[in-house]
Structure 1
């Protein structure tokens, strides 16, 4: 060390050589003044000697002089801090040490050693004072040498184990406390020795010899000790037991973790598993969550009376262990955990009061599996020595129990552990109950939704059709997506998809009403744009009605209505705020038609428009709801937006599957995440064209004489089709329809027969008047035409075109038509329009 460094080091110590002496008499008058005093305060000896020392102190300290003089007389001296007045007027804090000058004659009795407080942080204390400070300190204090061997320790350190101070001399920490992580602690000491930088507040968690069955936490500080030359002598460290504070922090952290991780979903089983995950290993070594079966099913909990059965069964909903294996192998997730009626879990279940045992009863054999091939094992045999049972209770209802066990951790559960377990089980219970209630409502809504969706798709020859519906995840809830396939007259078919805003039972109910309305409008054989216009009026009118909750729910719904004609291959479609379908040609090319999109239902706006396309046979139409194109914000790497969604759909549709049904499921699997944010409906239809041999048509003149010729043409055609058994009834239907067209309409008349799953007879004309079915009296001479048509057909109706209308009738090919009544072997000329 250099000269300047030695000087700086000396200035940091209080020594007689560094202090300025001042000689005082018994009255506190200055009788001697040194040069050091003059340098310190600026006064010359002539200015000070003979005056009282109080005159050179600040007023507050000057008032203390009489009391300090008395204290010196009684105690033989005094040490402390006083503030003097410098000659220039500024205050100078001084460290003062007053001792009795026994060698000086009266009246010079006291010597005051003074030094600048700013230059001397303390004064030289006697060894006895320092020993008292160290040995009587409640903190554990020790000094180790550069080899980290003990050279000194106080009595307080013995409370942490390792024996008295004399037993530590020459030994290392690993020899004294084998339960602690001595390598980490000695690593801290070596770091302090090398750098000289003190480590303060280092927390060490472990087991000490004084409490081998209890995990302790100590706050430790390490400081390097140097000799006069600044070379390290060793390390001085202190240790304080902060276990209580540490446990409080751990419990608060565990509660925070419980609040963060429990209840992230509305799934009962997942919530139960989250409860077990939070408690291990922070509180227990093994946790089991058992719930009543009714809770898992979403029903109200109904715990049976324990006396009704020797065993009480709960369903395992979640568990977690610090080690794999026992006891998870005894009762797995979803299996039944059966407890004896006198066991603690059943007592807790029925009473709703928590229970804990510091030591498990060896006779307790509650862990009984449903599999008889696995023998029962007592808790002690499983290595579990301490347990707690806490009821999962919310809103006054007990839904199950949570069992906490300790195996590897030797310290047993205590009352504070039980209070902590009750706290976060109570939080989890609310989440479990919410999940249970949601499960019940969602199951009810899903049952309603499933019942309102088509249970099976109708048979027809226009298209091969399949559909796939996926409800939204449990957080979003069931939505209002729907689809339908509706056979129309003339072998045509309507394909429909829609989306009702909202979720849950209300959304499902609104969807059901909307689907029913579409089916009703489809029976009127209206064009797609008119179907949507009437549907829009229906939703708007319902929204204006008071308390029309489901109607209001339907406001803003979207719908896509598509009509395909297998005879002409024409496809007409209209949209109400719904994305157009994807078209997949037979060669695999995917396109999206340019379809005018109208406003959402019930919102008003521009009229609906339809677009018509000619489709090649084998073209696949993929009608879908917007959930198929949506992107979950929780899913990284997927670009949102309609164009990006269409591109993903295009890529999915280009992958051909083994079947149309398999292809439909593959598209949904490829585009919809496991936890989608919206429900999804996909309806896929592959088009067919009726062959030329399935359709026959004739243009007829508006002349009554052509009725007989029309009957002959129909008879010959039915003979070619092998349908001679339907010739009589078909002649009757054709006679009535053609006669009515000639009598009540104008312009050209066209007769068409279509053989599909039914025999369809159509007569088109240019008239716009609607036919009406009459029920004539016995005495009436006419009015029986359409009545007879309705009797000999399984269904009949009319649809309107741009050129007029079409009256049609269908006869079943699988059932023999009823014989006509006597006296009705010819056409009836009177039919009411």
Structure 2
């Protein structure tokens, strides 16, 4: 993941049992990026908690389609406005009462570019500590809270060297009866300047130093340490808009995977590169770029493949009729990978396909069960069973996977022959 993080939540000491509207989230995104989210729904009690759950779910849904931080807050603002408007209808739900006054801070960290894109809606500004530096506020436009007025939001992008600490928090941590929010932020900066060997220890120290024994408001604190991917973990190729380049792109991707020791993933990536580069050449426009990203974990390795072009249209997965000659490329990509999707990269309005696959055989991916997610509009791969007993299920899965692999290999061979003839 692009960051290491620690999260602490402390409920308020109120008659409502401390239930409040503060929330946090860490959401993996395509291209090895990660989104950090902290928000606050005004109030306490079950209504505020229910509203928080709705808003948090909306954030995850919007993050899944890879919106920029300012656009995500705009769509989230529309969601909160609709929930708030229900209070004035005949179908008013008591759970909607908590959707008045919502703040949020959304940040996306990219370990490849080492940039962090942030936007906030009425939320306290984040703090950042660069290696060897001091805690400083990131200058972000405050914008209006969500659901107050229909306005646009402004984002900022900052460079974060590897090892920087990013602190996101709610106002309950820095505001109290004893001091205002500015004094609280200064106290938090002092604690962060002291540092700690572990993020969990730093979170504990911040809560202990700033909060009384019985806080009047619930508190959420998220501290993340950024990582960076060096050139040995990223491979990029600029491609001309020429169908003959597809074979070269496949060869370059396969050679790169071999050098990384990920030969088991070569087949899936080779098919994906063929389909995605062909799609970009046929329907997009230059510049066309192919990028492979390798992220090594303790016992696994995530591999992302992205193809970007200068078009402003988005591809869509569709179900091809038996008599159709095309329309199966994205379906093949979806079947051979764990995830796939599309995102826009301003200001060039590029579209890019991102996918991740583990360096294992395809039947291992199928057997991951609930951990495997599928693209929007596609059902999960159903379990195979030839009898009421599931004893033969693994063999059936492997057989079906082997059959699909052989069919795809035949299709790829045809593509290669056509490419060589051209």
TM-score (norm 1): 0.43
Partner of 1:777: 321
- 1:580 maps to which residue? 125
- Deviation (angstroms), 1:814: 5.3
* Residue among 354, 368, 377 paired with 1:808: 354
Q: Give CA deviations for 1:230-268 in whole Å, capped at 9, x if unaligned.
A: xxxxxxxxxxxxxxxxxxxxxxxxxxxxxxxxxxxxxxx
Unaligned runs of 5+ in 1: 1-460
Q: Is the 8 A contact 2:77 2:150 kept in 1?
A: no
1:610 correspondence with 2:155: yes
Q: Give the distance between the partners of 2:359 and 2:249, measured in 1 at CA.
A: 21
Tell me which residue corresponds to 1:824.
411
Supply the distance in 2 between the matched residues of 1:715 and 1:535 (Cα, whole angstroms).
41
Who is 2:254 aligned against?
715
Q: Which residue of 2 aligns with 1:517?
A: 58
Q: CA deviation at 1:826?
A: 4.6
The Cα of 1:815 is off from its aligned counterpart by 5.7
Name which of 543, 546, 561 aligns with 2:106.
561
Matches within 5 A, 1:215-294: none
CA RMSD of aligned residues (A): 1.7
Relative contact order: is structure 1 or structure 2 higher (C-alpha 8 Å, sep ≥ 6)? 2
Correspondence for 2:173 among 623, 628, 646: 628
Residue in 2 that maps onto 1:462: 2
By how many angstroms is 1:555 displaced?
Answer: 2.0
Distance, in Å, in 1 between the alignment partners of 2:197 and 2:353 is 41
- Residues 23 and 52, structure 2, Cα contact 8 Å, conserved in 1: yes
1:683 and 1:515 map into 2 onto residues whose CA distance is 15
**Higher Cα Rg: structure 1 or 2?**
1
* 1:481 alignment partner in structure 2: 22
From the superposition, tell whether residues 815 and 712 of structure 1 become closer, same or farther in structure 2 (CA, over 3 Å). closer
Q: Which residue of 2 aligns with 1:600?
A: 145
The answer for the alignment partner of 1:429 in structure 2 is none
Of 224, 227, 238, which aligns to 1:688?
Answer: 227
Give 1:807 shift. Answer: 1.4
Q: Is contact 1:736-1:828 (8 Å) kept?
A: no
* Aligned counterparts, 1:739-758, within 5 A: 739-756=278-295, 757-758=301-302
Deviating 4+ runs (over 4 angstroms): 814-819, 826-829
Partner residue of 1:799 out of 343, 356, 367: 343
Aligned length: 363
1:641 positional shift: 2.1
CA separation of 1:544/1:557 partners in 2, compared to 1, >3 Å: closer, same or farther? same
Residues in 1 aligned to 2:121 and 2:414: alpha-carbon distance in whole angstroms: 45
1:825 aligns to what SS in structure 2? helix
Whole-angstrom CA distance in 2 between matches of 1:827 and 1:571: 43
Out of 526, 533, 540, the residue aligned to residue 81 of structure 2 is 540
Q: CA deviation at 1:663?
A: 1.0
Runs of 5+ consecutive residues of structure 2 not aligned to the other structure: 296-300, 366-400, 417-422
Compute the displacement of 1:616 (Å). 0.6
Report the equivalent of 2:312. Answer: 768
* Structure with the larger helix share: 2
Aligned to 2:369: none
SS in 1 for 2:194: coil
**Residues 289 and 308, structure 2, Cα contact 8 Å, conserved in 1:** yes
- 2:245 and 2:322 mapped to 1: Cα distance? 29
1:539–1:551 CA contact under 8 A, matched in 2? no
Report the CA distance between 1:605 and its aligned residue: 4.9
